[in-house]
A and B are shown apart, each in its own frame.
Chain A
């Protein structure tokens, strides 16, 4: 009866998404593409030419940059996925996995840049680990000349990406597992004589993967185009492609904008090609896997692998915790030189001196984060509600649309998007920043919200309808309250994503909008780890508080409602 309304509603949301998210990206890509083919009148370049591409391919280190990008992107994504699935398998059914998942929040909340800075300090030859062991155990009176960060093979960058992506995968996997009859299938598989690890590989894994495929692509795309983390942890001469592109965009020689635009387009091609390659690998693996399953072998024990993965993930988490602690300690240090395990002198000066600065940055960060999250949440609820009312099936093409901002590398369209915004006359303000953040926040909110929303037992809605509740009352009195926890979680994730945005804030805010992240990244180009520590601590603290609220508010409101407090078992 409200099917037409529902269709209209979703059409409306689709229109907003297309006009607000997709069009700007396409327009941004268009502007970048024009510059890539030699058309940028602002610097006197007119007409069509392939010169920018020729220049790009001639730039020193171009080939190495490309290879490095592919290697770090694929290795980190594949390894993170394997580790996260193995860890979930090893820990599943063990008390505390769910509680443990909540501890992941700070890792998700900490922006890449801050985590990278902390991690770099932790593992550097003169870093915290070396300081704790030197000189008494290692004999290093001076730090050794070892490439533990910025190594030419990009291993430190891969490690950094793992620390960040494994928790993300774990969270996504846990959400997906709650939709699968894992326990039952484990029992069934083991009763047929298969070990736990093998059942995970042969039975649970293949069912799990389709549910997390899109997040996997998002991570792959991110790893192929990461900038901030690669600057801090990756090799510098040459760096990965995305860092090289950013450098060229910002080089003093403005004519480099043309090959930089070409490289930005190429970066998109790398991501598209990377995803294509991954997809092909998926199909091949699935084919091989099916043949393997048909053979019915039980002999392989995956237990040692699970134990190793458990240890690796624990190690990664320890590194993450160490990185965050290093930043916190730095923020209250005064003088701290090698090989002292702790600062020689302490001081709150870093907090006090920059109080005015971070106060304002916190204010604008919270403002932008709240506005963006609210916007994204309203859109997501409208989308899902439209689907419900219109009795529409889950539209994969529309979902792919939502993911577009996460799959297209930011650097490929942000510059062009900035030009477009300026043309329309909305550049350089907080509004433009909120809009740009929404591009990236909305997809994450959709990811977080759509599965619990669709998993909601329709019996509740039918019961409410049978009691005479109209669609509006059903939404506000039944659906939203029952879904309070996933709603809050989605909001917290959205907020964290907004807090972490660097390039969109920089480009759209014309540098005038200072958030914790832009300040932290700028300061990290300076030498003062103590001030960087202050900003990084705040940067991690804000989203962490949001996560705490996401857990605490529903827990408090539903404290007498056991059926709502545990989430899906």
Chain B
């Protein structure tokens, strides 16, 4: 049984395209398909083309598509700094250089000196910012945002949206966001697709 009708979508670099729709419609499944994380119980037809190359058959790790989850998915066994080091692209070599890159990312996230902290001690907003930095440190060619603000309270939400969108626009990569919240779509300021 198909989840939703066929869909064709192009996302320009530096812009955020938003997919909205009620929960259960298959927004997240679409994201999983694009990211390469589709569970075996689903079948998908179609192609994913990134920067002109067809990545549909590539494993997730080779697609260079970053994902930001609503629950941040920080690894609890690693410190905040090590979570970022985990994301940091491998071409940054040398212990010192990598430590500097991690420290810079923490500064940008407004969390200087947080490297040794246990992620479990962070607030929701802090976790989301660390998660975004971790994703960006991997230097993705595209970014998927899966209801990234759903778990935050309204005040924090506003602040975090700005943080996320500012950062991703800087990178000049295509960004696709799914949400069921119309204000998210508004803040993104890009095209909106309804499922």
Contact = CB atoms under 8 A, between A and B. Distances in A.
B66 A190 contact: no
B86 A202 contact: yes
A190 B36 contact: yes
Interface string B155-172: 000000000000000000
A192 B59 contact: no
B135 A293 contact: no
Contact of B35 (A181, A187, A298): A187
Given A95-B41, A296-B88, A296-B90, A188 B69 contact: yes
B61 A298 contact: yes
Contacts of B98: 294-296
Contacts, number: 95
Nearest to A294: B85
A213 interface: no
A530 to B, nearest CB: 45
B59 A196 contact: yes
B89 interface: yes
B134 A207 contact: no
Contact of A192 (B76, B77, B138, B144): B138
Interface residues of B, number: 37
A184 B73 contact: yes
A107 interface: no
Contact of B66 (A93, A191, A295): A191
Interface string A194-206: 1110000011001
Contacts of A183: 39
A194 B35 CA distance: 13
Contacts of B69: 184, 187-188
Contact of B85 (A94, A184, A296): A296
Contacts of A296: 85-90, 92, 98
Contact of B86 (A187, A192, A207): A192
A295 B82 contact: no
A293 B102 CA distance: 13
B67 interface: yes
Given A93-B39, A181-B73, A296-B98, A190 B86 contact: no
A192 B134 contact: yes
Contacts of B118: none
Interface string B73-105: 101111000100111111010010010000000
Nearest to A95: B40
A185 B41 contact: no
Contact of A194 (B40, B61, B82): B61
B65 A195 contact: no
Interface in A62-117: 93-95
A305 interface: no
Interface in A506-526: none
Contacts of B88: 296
Looking at A185, A194, A202, A296, the one whose CB has the most chain B CB atoms below 10 A away is A296
B180 interface: no
Contacts of B135: 191-192
Given A187-B67, A191-B67, A294-B82, A94 B40 contact: yes
B151 interface: no
A425 interface: no
A195 B61 contact: yes
Nearest to B143: A191
Contacts of A202: 86
A477 to B, nearest CB: 32
B76 A207 contact: yes
Contact of B73 (A185, A290, A293): A185
Nearest to B93: A295
Contacts of B62: 193
B48 interface: no
A41 interface: no
A139 interface: no
A299 interface: yes
Nearest to A303: B59
B127 interface: no
11 contacts: A184-B71, A187-B73, A188-B75, A190-B37, A191-B144, A192-B66, A203-B77, A294-B82, A294-B95, A295-B85, A295-B90
**Which 9 residue pairs of A and B lie closest in terms of their CB atoms, listed nearest first?**
A190-B60, A191-B67, A188-B73, A206-B77, A294-B85, A192-B138, A190-B61, A187-B37, A296-B90
